[in-house]
Amino acid sequence: MNSHFRAFSILLQRDLKLAYRHRAELANPLLFFVLVVSLFPLGVSPESKVLQQLAPGVIWVAALLAAMLSLDSLFRSDFNDGALEQLTLTAHPLPLLVLAKITAHWLVSGLPLIILAPLLGVLLFLPTDAMPTLLATLALGTPVLSLIGAIGVALTVGLQRGGVLLSLLVLPLYIPILIFAANAVQSAAIGLEVAGQLYFLGAMLMLALTLAPIAAAAALRISLSG
């Protein structure tokens, strides 16, 4: 058991170091997130009341699309250099190693979105009372985006141009997260209770955390065997 957790830690550190070396690529989804939200007032309306109503949906749609932009890098480099095949041959459980890679992906792509979100919320005149709910929904929802997205990436990693197929696979699964998260922030902005939406996001996170690494590991074996 200790060797398995040690392998998890080593793989996590390795992916974080590789991400730091290619930090210019990591900046693209974050820049996309900031640009989409900041340009939205120019395309719709600069009035505070209009932006306040649209802010939850705008921030969450931008976060979802930014997360999708970073998904392709989850397994692609390891697949190209053969490291992914070596991972499947180790004595350690492949779902645990996949979870390490997903964790590293979330730390370099999902966590920065959470840090930037309050600043963009202020830009869109989101009420201060809704900020904690915005952070809570992103903290619960962005890991689910990475976990579900890992399954789609694992299925399409062997394809030369799998970006469109990846979008078709994961977008329908992202819709419930988007609906409940945006609704929670909107409800908090007008003073309504949001516990139900947060419980749903928490349940989605637990379900994805339990099943997604297993499904992604199985999908990787299928892609590598093909």
Q: Where in the chain are the domains?
A: 2-225
Which one, of 183, 208, 64, 179, lies nearest residue 133 by Cα? 183
The pLDDT of residue 226? 59
Contact criterion met (CB below 8 Å) for 69 and 32? yes
pLDDT of residue 41: 84
Give the CA distances from residue 69 to residues 26, 74, 185, in Å, rounded to whole numbers and listed in that order.
10, 11, 24
Contact status, residue 160 vs residue 79, Cβ threshold 8 Å: no
Q: What is the pLDDT of residue 63?
A: 92
Per-residue pLDDT of the chain (226 residues; tens, 9 = 90+): 678 888 889 989 988 888 888 777 778 888 999 998 988 888 887 888 888 888 999 999 999 999 888 887 788 777 777 778 888 888 888 899 999 999 999 999 899 999 999 999 998 999 999 999 999 999 999 999 999 999 998 888 877 666 677 888 889 999 999 999 999 999 999 989 999 999 999 999 999 999 999 999 998 888 887 5
- Whole-prediction pTM: 0.90
Per-residue CA distances from 108 to 10, 11, 124 (Å) = 16, 14, 25
Q: Say if residues 213 and 187 touch (Cβ distance below 8 Å).
A: no
